[in-house]
Amino acid sequence: MASTNDIRVVAAIDFGTTYSGFAYAHRKSPDEIFCQDFEGSFKTPTVLIYDESFKVTSWGFPALSDRTIRKSKSSSVELFKLHLGRNIEEKPFLPEGLDYKKAIIDYLHEICKLLKEKLNSYKFLEFFNQVIIILTVPAEFDNKALSIMRDCAFKAGLTNEKNSRNLKFITEPEAAAIHCMKFLSDNGITSGDSFMTVDCGGGTVDLTTRQLLFDNALGEVTERTGDFCGSSYVDQEFIKFLEKKVGKSAIDLLKKNYYRQLQCLIQEFCKNVKIPFTGCEKDFEFTEIDLGDYCPELKQYCKDDVFMEIEELELTFDDVRTMFDPIITKIVDLIKGQLHANNDKCSAIIMVGGFSESKYLQSRIKDEFLDFVQNISFPSNPITAVIKGAVQYGMKEHVITNRVLKWTYGTEIGRKWEADDPISRKLPNGMIKVFHPLAKKGSHLTSTDEVKTVFKPYSLFQTKVSFNMYHTSKLDAKYCDEDDVKLLDNDWEIEIPRLDDFDDQIISLALNFGNIEILATAENQKTGKEYKVKFNCG
């Protein structure tokens, strides 16, 4: 990694489920943040068009703008970021033979090319040594998802090595909270007060409750939370509505063979139905969508009388509200959970992200929470809050002073078998392997805190010690093969010199939680040899 003095530019990429963008700033002018313009918008659709050999032919707005190619069978993909999510019942559609990781790599590669073109104006720049890349991730991403994102960023050309320390991560709600600091005084927030940032995106809704500290830093008050209930799930409710009309099998065949047509239909729904919807019936205009125009191939998968009956698809006010309500209910429940975790203490709620521009969502949030939180605000250009906050974080990482751990972290160690241990776990040498917690879920840790522990090898003749790091949502896990105890991707080992005295063989392990990725350092205290590796603590 280049030294801090070598870094000239901080660039941030907001790789979103439905829309993505990037921004950058020169370290000499940190307040002058340049957001990339995509055809008059600060974000472009997270969509790719592939040819028959899965080579990218178009991406972003151009991939959706040509309405004359609806009959094309070209492979068109979207929502592929959702394949990284945990606990998603139905993964988004992908063409047969296409891995979601390839789609992520290909999309990031297009962003990377455009970013490098923009930075060419800085003639002195040598990209990999002089640019810090900040990549935003949802609060719900686990270690596996983060490891995949780091690998994809490397293969897309954003870094010159997989474990480059010039690539850093920040969660989307943290980035939004940093950007929203400038609005706090307008909402009567002063040092010591807490506020909640709710980032409503296309795929996820992410929340964090932060306390404003006296030196314009932010401390995390509660564990950040999130769920898959962004605006694209309103679109999925629309598809479910359509399935009830023509049958699920008909829509599945349309997805498989003419997915571009389905995309065009959803775009029409978003433009003329979802975005204008206010939740007020007097504002609603009766809506018809011509399925014969947007999805002409759907007819072949339906009975003639069924298609004729719904070719002009009618949407009533109640139909549309029913598409919104289950998604908004999840968002309301997430906010209630954050308030409850902070004993209902919150001076302001700040709504950001593209979905927060929905008038119906805004009115529902105000109706639910104005009696409990006096300040509920919706800043202008909420779609840029995350990307600008990520750049600001890259300029001043210490603005985040502490984090609340979402997981318990530990490793596997051996100890003597005891009478209350299961006999089935007793090893021939009288030992037992157990989960040894190093940092527990819910702990408040600052950027300088280190969690330290020491180990000894199993025997005098052992020449290497390896550490497998695990994480779990449990506070009381006993064994590493329990449900919900997951092995992290990284495993490593350090050498031990052959010694005569067993007491000399002591290994220290230190974990630093200054960033989303934990820095773990193991040291052989006899030789001083160290080994470092990163893990995700999101």
Here the tokens at position 76 are 């068109």
The percentage of the chain sitting over the pLDDT mark of 70, rounded to a whole number, equals 89
pTM score, two decimals? 0.81
The single-letter code of the amino acid at 120 is N
**Beta-ladder partners of 34:** 24
User: Are 151 and 26 members of one domain?
Assistant: yes
Do the beta carbons of residue 38 and residue 229 sit within 8 Å? no
Examine the fold and report which residue of 308, 323, 338 is the final residue of a domain before the chain moves on: 323
Do the beta carbons of residue 22 and residue 11 sit within 8 Å? yes
User: Are 22 and 146 members of one domain?
Assistant: yes
Which residue has tokens 């559609």? 93
Dihedral (CA of 123, 129, 130, 135) sign: positive
Examine the fold and report which residue of 278, 297, 323 is the final residue of a domain before the chain moves on: 323
CATH number of the domain that residue 499 is part of:
2.60.34.10
User: Are 118 and 147 members of one domain?
Assistant: yes
- Spell out a b/e string for 260-292, using b for 16 or more CB atoms within 10 Å of the CB, else e: bbbbbbbbbbbeebbebbebeeeebeebebebe
CA distance 433 to 430: 10
pLDDT at 491 over 70: no
Do the beta carbons of residue 56 and residue 111 sit within 8 Å? no
Range with the poorest average pLDDT among 143-157, 257-271, 445-459, 467-481: 445-459
pLDDT at 387 over 50: yes
CA Rg, the chain, in Å? 26
Residues in the chain: 538
User: Are 214 and 240 members of one domain?
Assistant: no
Do the beta carbons of residue 47 and residue 76 sit within 8 Å? yes
| Angle, alpha carbons 132-384-336 (nearest 5°) | 110
CA distance 171 to 154: 19
Q: What is the mean pLDDT of residues 65-94?
A: 73
pLDDT at 465 over 90: no
User: Are 116 and 185 members of one domain?
Assistant: no
pLDDT at 75 over 70: no
Q: What is the mean pLDDT of residues 71-94?
A: 79
Confidence of residue 426 (pLDDT cuts 50, 70, 90): very high
CATH number of the domain that residue 52 is part of:
3.30.420.40
User: Are 206 and 318 members of one domain?
Assistant: no
- Non-local (6+) Cβ contacts of 304 within 8 A are none
3-state secondary structure of 229: coil
Q: What is the mean pLDDT of residues 421-433?
A: 91
Do the beta carbons of residue 208 and residue 173 sit within 8 Å? yes
Count up the domains in the chain and report the number.
4
User: Are 300 and 315 members of one domain?
Assistant: yes
Long-range contacts formed by 414-419: CB under 8 A, 24+ apart: 414/458
CA distance 363 to 366: 5
pLDDT at 361 over 60: yes
Confidence of residue 68 (pLDDT cuts 50, 70, 90): very low
pLDDT in tens, 325-355: 999 999 999 999 999 998 888 999 999 999 9
The percentage of the chain sitting over the pLDDT mark of 90, rounded to a whole number, equals 45
Residue 484 DSSP one-character state: T
Q: What is the number of other CB atoms lying within 10 angstroms of the CB of residue 293?
A: 15
User: Are 372 and 415 members of one domain?
Assistant: no
pLDDT at residue 502, as a whole number: 56
Closest-CA residue to 277 (of 206, 325, 228, 329): 325
pLDDT at residue 270, as a whole number: 93
pLDDT at 509 over 80: no
CA distance 273 to 237: 13
pLDDT at residue 153, as a whole number: 96
CA distance 149 to 209: 25
Q: Taking every pair of C-alpha atoms in the chain, what is the biggest distance, in angstroms?
A: 88
Confidence of residue 3 (pLDDT cuts 50, 70, 90): low
- Spell out a b/e string for 339-362, using b for 16 or more CB atoms within 10 Å of the CB, else e: beeeeeebbbbbbbbbbbbbebbb
Crossing angle, helix 248-269 and helix 232-246, to 10 degrees? 140
CA distance 314 to 286: 8
User: Are 166 and 39 members of one domain?
Assistant: yes
Phi-psi region of 96 (alpha: psi -120 to 50; beta: other; left: phi over 0): beta
Taking all residues of the chain, what is their mean pLDDT, rounded to a whole number? 86
Examine the fold and report which residue of 401, 436, 453 is the final residue of a domain before the chain moves on: 401
Phi and psi, residue 442, nearest 5°? 90, -5
Confidence of residue 169 (pLDDT cuts 50, 70, 90): very high
Choose between 304 and 23: higher pLDDT.
Answer: 23
Confidence of residue 494 (pLDDT cuts 50, 70, 90): low
Confidence of residue 533 (pLDDT cuts 50, 70, 90): low
pLDDT in tens, 219-243: 888 888 999 999 999 999 999 999 9
pLDDT at residue 356, as a whole number: 95
Which residue has tokens 């349309």? 254
pLDDT at residue 528, as a whole number: 76
pLDDT at 413 over 90: no
pLDDT at residue 405, as a whole number: 85
User: Are 42 and 152 members of one domain?
Assistant: yes
User: Are 354 and 314 members of one domain?
Assistant: no
Which residue has tokens 């104005």? 370
Dihedral (CA of 173, 179, 181, 184) sign: negative
pLDDT in tens, 93-147: 888 899 999 999 999 999 999 999 998 766 667 888 899 999 999 988 877 888 8
pLDDT at 284 over 50: yes
Phi and psi, residue 295, nearest 5°? -130, 65
pLDDT at residue 257, as a whole number: 87
Q: Which domain holds residue 220?
A: 173-228+329-385+394-401
pLDDT at residue 448, as a whole number: 75
The single-letter code of the amino acid at 431 is M
3-state secondary structure of 40: coil
* Environment class of 372 (CB within 10 Å of its CB; exposed 0-12, middle 13-18, buried 19+): middle
Q: What is the mean pLDDT of residues 188-200?
A: 90
3-state secondary structure of 409: strand
- Non-local (6+) Cβ contacts of 199 within 8 A are 172, 173, 176, 205, 206, 207, 352, 353, 356, 385, 386
Do the beta carbons of residue 222 and residue 341 sit within 8 Å? yes
CA distance 439 to 239: 43
User: Are 219 and 248 members of one domain?
Assistant: no
